Amino acid sequence: MEDQARMMSGLVGLSGLSQVDVGDHDAGRKQHSLGQPQQDIGDILQQIMAITDESLDEAQARKHALNCHRMKPALFSVLCEIKEKTVLSIRGIQDEDPPDPQIMRLDNMLLAEGVSGPEKGGASAAAAAVAAAAAGGSPNDGSIEHSDYRAKLTQIRGIYHSELEKYEQACSEFTNHVMNLLREQSRTRPISPKEIERMVGIIHRKFSSIQMQLKQSTCEAVMILRSRFLDARRKRRNFNKQATEVLNEYFYSHLSNPYPSEEAKEELAKKCAITVSQVSNWFGNKRIRYKKNIGKFQEEANLYAVKTAVDAASVSSQASQANSPATPNSGSPGSYSRPNTGHAHPGLHPTNGEGLFLSPPLQPQVGLQ
């Protein structure tokens, strides 16, 4: 009977109600053990070590006996009463934020990188890469690296998913286990569904921190991969001569306001076979570098001024007015040579007004800065 009582007190202790002592004849022993807790722990350890299958069976039998004890319903209701009171104090501890912002962030990123989300890796990606390389007469050297990147991304994605699956399996297994335990124990002590729910919540929080680590390291891996394969700075290729010419032509012919509109950018992008943002980059770089050292660009400016002037001359041979091709360098060359000029927004952004770029190529303003 002493064993039963101890077991009972152990069960109760699990629920955090250890203050409810059960076995009366255990009291003396407890007093004693409180004085020497180490010995008590050693005692328990020894008992645990001594557990065998038989003793477990025996324990089951005793548990059953306990559950069938005639005083059990009474004890149970007492426990319920106590619980009613304590549960209120427990309640305040919980109530946390279900949507973890950190995990949301990582999720979004993984989704954006194509690691999570709809399955489109593997064969279709490889096929797409091959198709891109094969089709279209352009031997895009980037596609090889890109397919390499895709392959590695797929690899990461595979690892990520298998880990995630393992994690989910372990989580649900553990949750099930705990729930079974709680259900089992609920025969002996009162456990409200809410309490089980709370327990599951705690487990999930614990597991989600593991999940976050997984997602975190996956994100890191993807970022490293990105930086190695996709960071355009690492595989920068100069634009071809013709593209540079087109861009320079526009720049120097709009020197007074070298801020192409969105449509103009699109047109330039199309002409140069580059993207609109590359056009924006080019103009950003060009403006700042030109401004920084106008002298260095004199030759170039002169060249393109002449070039556009020649173009303008050949074009304006029918519709010309007083625009004399004899003075191509003095005016703002080709200011009207493009249809885009019509929607160039005057005074759009230049911080010092348009004056910054007003100077014709051959007459640099020295006091610009």
Positions that interact with DNA (CB under 7 A):
231-239, 244, 259, 262, 274, 277-278, 280-282, 284-285, 287-289, 291, 296, 348-351
We find the least distance from the C-beta atom of residue 224 to DNA, in angstroms, to be: 13
Nearer to DNA, 160 or 251 (CB): 251
We find the least distance from the C-beta atom of residue 133 to DNA, in angstroms, to be: 19
- For residues 75 and 65, give the distance between their C-alpha atoms in angstroms, rounded to a whole number: 14
SS3 category, 368: helix
Nearer to DNA, 273 or 362 (CB): 273
Decide: 218 and 253 in contact? Cβ < 8 Å.
no
Nearer to DNA, 206 or 296 (CB): 296
- For residues 251 and 335, give the distance between their C-alpha atoms in angstroms, rounded to a whole number: 11
Nearer to DNA, 86 or 277 (CB): 277
Decide: 106 and 217 in contact? Cβ < 8 Å.
no
Please work out, in degrees rounded to the nearest 5, the angle formed at the alpha carbon of residue 173 by the alpha carbons of 168 and 177: 150
We find the least distance from the C-beta atom of residue 284 to DNA, in angstroms, to be: 5
Nearer to DNA, 200 or 225 (CB): 225
We find the least distance from the C-beta atom of residue 297 to DNA, in angstroms, to be: 9
Which 3-state string (H, E, C) describes 299-348? HHHHHHHHHHHHHHHHHHHHHCCCCCCCCCCCCCCCCCCCHHHHHCCCCC
Within the chain, how many helices (H) and strands (E) appear? 13, 1
The amino acid at 334: G
We find the least distance from the C-beta atom of residue 339 to DNA, in angstroms, to be: 18
Letter string b/e over residues 210-245, b meaning 16 or more CB atoms within 10 A of that residue's CB:
ebbebbeebbebbeebeeebeeeeeeeeeeeeebeb
- For residues 63 and 28, give the distance between their C-alpha atoms in angstroms, rounded to a whole number: 23
We find the least distance from the C-beta atom of residue 249 to DNA, in angstroms, to be: 14
We find the least distance from the C-beta atom of residue 323 to DNA, in angstroms, to be: 28
Nearer to DNA, 106 or 264 (CB): 264
The amino acid at 320: S
